[in-house]
Structure 1
């Protein structure tokens, strides 16, 4: 086919990829993840996949049947819609703009059903195999609507799973509840629609958090958008701030540039206004972390001081019970002081975090990595490398979340380049590479 005939489809393919948050390399990795076994065995190397994708986008050749299927699966759509619509219609997953349109929810259900079929329902998406999976999904789709107490209990259960279980396992049940609540919202005559939207915003926030832990950043960003837009639709200021603070906080783990995170916090503060609130205080804590990543340690410590003074002594219950906990103050102190190399403050904060009764496993690992970071910043490159390697090496494989490995990368970034080939830093880099989680499919 002449190049001029394929140029427009090529630009559309590029627009679709960018709209779904993929780099070329990320899309190539996704192809290898989602390909059915019969196709996966025949796929070329990642480098050749990247070359093929670039060729499609440059209009050098058009996707054949295999690649049309892979693109459709990667973008959770149909081949017909993907290859027969203009680039301006590319719609990232997770938009809540169709909240009032039942077919939007039907489309998400179709995507989930498609994922069940493609992944064999046990290869990492939704747990059980075969007929058991069909029965589980059927029970979700045909169950009676739940009342608000049941949905709030579900939020608490999913938060507990997020903090205590491997992220892939926590994701499995949450996906089914997302499908269930979306169907309930669209039930004719539903009187609690606003309350259900509040639950949807909360579950979407937890889902985006889990996707961040899995390193599926493109998907997480789309679900942050869903959570944010849904929260806005409820008019609940505290909920809107909770979502925005959570989104900005997730951005600190390689999901976004720290400068972008600062912009997100500033926009959230504009929404918060002058009224003191828990959300406003926590936004300041996120700002302090972002300033630390940017190397603006004096500003980070001033902002940390504001955060500590504004944080309440009695942390109130929220839509997701126990979502905010007092250890977030000490965790932020550990982050900021360790980044600045202030050992006394970092040690005291870390000890208080580790003494917390209900500790997220990520906090336990990350404050120990903060200790390693502080050691490196103070000049102890070998000792800090060994500390960080020991923390990562001790983690069970299923708990090696992206949000932990990213703090490990912060330790590595603090090591001067000319010293990274010393034996201890080199060994740490090998451990860090082996613990990096595999990015999952977009959802």
Structure 2
């Protein structure tokens, strides 16, 4: 096929790639990020890109990822309606007879392709458990009840708090395939309940990806979680997802001002200052204000969070998503950042008495080091943090822990960054940062 005979969309995706100076391998990485894929076989996908740019095949399953990578829409990029509305044939023409089933089948193939690409890099657990679950999904025909799905969400949350995030992610991908299949055939009366489940699973996956340091993919899954929560029609699910998104944003995922904007936008859904979700969001706002050095404002927001004693909605969605220890964690964060050693120590003691999960326990102990640095003990605080990080098992490596250490580093004055203890801390952070999300 000559250049003159190439479909316009093929010329367009080639031109957009060339304009950015991306090789086909870099284009493959960008597509994976756009699809929310943490792992993938870059070489194989680059070969497909070659065929797409030659107009041999239309990238039906990757159309939206292309649009995301080029910061545009499917319609503008390919000159055809979004495949979520109609199917597109290999020549790039639209089949008017396509039905909604085409879209669901395409989405199923896309999710399966993501899993297969993950297999190509050995990303899934060596035990073969995700493969067993995938086979079970392929063979099973019976739908799960909403109650069973809600129990699965609780199980995933339990795993998130105790298992390596890579394992949690792989199990979630299997269940997301299953819930997508069930939503395809669901009666109208069951869609809200299943959408609640899809929202919960998506937000747990976004949290997992945040721990893995794959912030681009996490942000895509936050969008999916919000869309699913909106489809559920459940205000509390909508607020839960948005509250979790803002909280995860504090760990290097977003600029602090963006986190504050997310909190404000979420509060617009329910302006009642006496509500549980207003208080929950106040906790996130207090942490964000601490990072900006606005300590008086942070303490006012903290009081709104820790003093709330009204109706409790958290147990009605995912009972284990929230614990009273989170109040003490927020106190530890805010008081340590303000250099209030007495109150920070008290909060840390109360939290550790609750026997929190490894991430909260580690970060709370890092708060102590932060407080030491804020009060001028740069070497002592840096050594404290380095010892905590060096003692971490590999399975406990998390970007949320890494980012807490980076918060400490940012509090060290520029003219003191050369100190040996600070350099040792920087090396410890690099050694314990999660490396599970490489696309290479």
Give the TM bin, normalised by the shorter chain: 0.7 to 0.9
Contact 1:127–1:172 (Cα < 8 Å) also in 2: no
Contact 1:420–1:426 (Cα < 8 Å) also in 2: yes
Q: 1:419 deviation in Å?
A: 1.3
Give structure 1 stretches of 5+ with no counterpart. Answer: 41-62
The residue number in structure 2 matching 1:88 is 73
217, 220, 224: which one pairs with 1:219?
217
Cα 1:377–1:139 shift into 2, 3 Å:
same
Q: 1:426 deviation in Å?
A: 1.1
Q: 1:323 deviation in Å?
A: 1.3
Cα 1:201–1:384 shift into 2, 3 Å:
same
Matched, 1:403 2:388: no
Matched, 1:434 2:431: yes
Cα 1:316–1:118 shift into 2, 3 Å:
closer
The residue number in structure 2 matching 1:116 is 115
Q: 1:339 deviation in Å?
A: 0.9
The residue number in structure 2 matching 1:375 is 372
Cα deviation, 1:76-96, whole Å, max 9, x if unaligned, reads: 94499959x9953189xxx9x
CA distance in 1, matches of 2:38, 2:279: 43
Cα 1:401–1:153 shift into 2, 3 Å:
same
CA distance in 1, matches of 2:65, 2:230: 30
Q: 1:322 deviation in Å?
A: 2.1
Q: 1:314 deviation in Å?
A: 6.3
CA distance in 2, matches of 1:168, 1:174: 10
Contact 1:115–1:125 (Cα < 8 Å) also in 2: no
CA distance in 2, matches of 1:266, 1:32: 30
**Mean Cα deviation higher: 321-330 or 380-389:** 321-330
Q: TM-score, structure 2 length as denominator?
A: 0.80
The residue number in structure 1 matching 2:143 is 145
CA distance in 2, matches of 1:316, 1:133: 30
The residue number in structure 2 matching 1:12 is 16
CA distance in 2, matches of 1:295, 1:204: 33
Give structure 2 stretches of 5+ with no counterpart. Answer: 54-58, 77-81, 86-98
| Partner secondary structure for residue 210 of structure 1 | helix
Matched, 1:192 2:190: yes
The residue number in structure 1 matching 2:331 is 333
Contact 1:376–1:415 (Cα < 8 Å) also in 2: yes
CA distance in 2, matches of 1:15, 1:206: 36
Matched, 1:244 2:266: no
Cα 1:254–1:352 shift into 2, 3 Å:
same
Q: 1:180 deviation in Å?
A: 0.7
Cα 1:325–1:69 shift into 2, 3 Å:
farther
CA distance in 2, matches of 1:103, 1:311: 49
CA distance in 2, matches of 1:225, 1:142: 30
Q: 1:14 deviation in Å?
A: 8.6
Cα 1:64–1:119 shift into 2, 3 Å:
closer
Cα 1:9–1:90 shift into 2, 3 Å:
same
RMSD: 3.8
347, 357, 366: which one pairs with 1:360?
357
Q: TM-score, structure 1 length as denominator?
A: 0.79
| Partner secondary structure for residue 113 of structure 1 | helix
Following superposition of structure 1 onto structure 2, how do residues 171-320 of structure 1 map, counting pairs within 5 Å? 171-187=169-185, 189=187, 191-274=189-272, 276-312=274-310, 316-320=314-318
Q: 1:233 deviation in Å?
A: 1.6
The residue number in structure 2 matching 1:389 is 386
Cα deviation, 1:142-188, whole Å, max 9, x if unaligned, reads: 32111122111101100100001111111111111111111111125
CA distance in 1, matches of 2:181, 2:230: 20
Q: 1:301 deviation in Å?
A: 1.1
Matched, 1:35 2:41: yes
The residue number in structure 2 matching 1:48 is none
Q: 1:189 deviation in Å?
A: 3.8
Cα deviation, 1:274-333, whole Å, max 9, x if unaligned, reads: 263221110011111111111211111111112222255967512112212111111111
Q: 1:70 deviation in Å?
A: 12
CA distance in 2, matches of 1:147, 1:240: 21
| Partner secondary structure for residue 213 of structure 2 | coil
Contact 1:69–1:79 (Cα < 8 Å) also in 2: no
The residue number in structure 1 matching 2:91 is none
| Partner secondary structure for residue 319 of structure 2 | coil
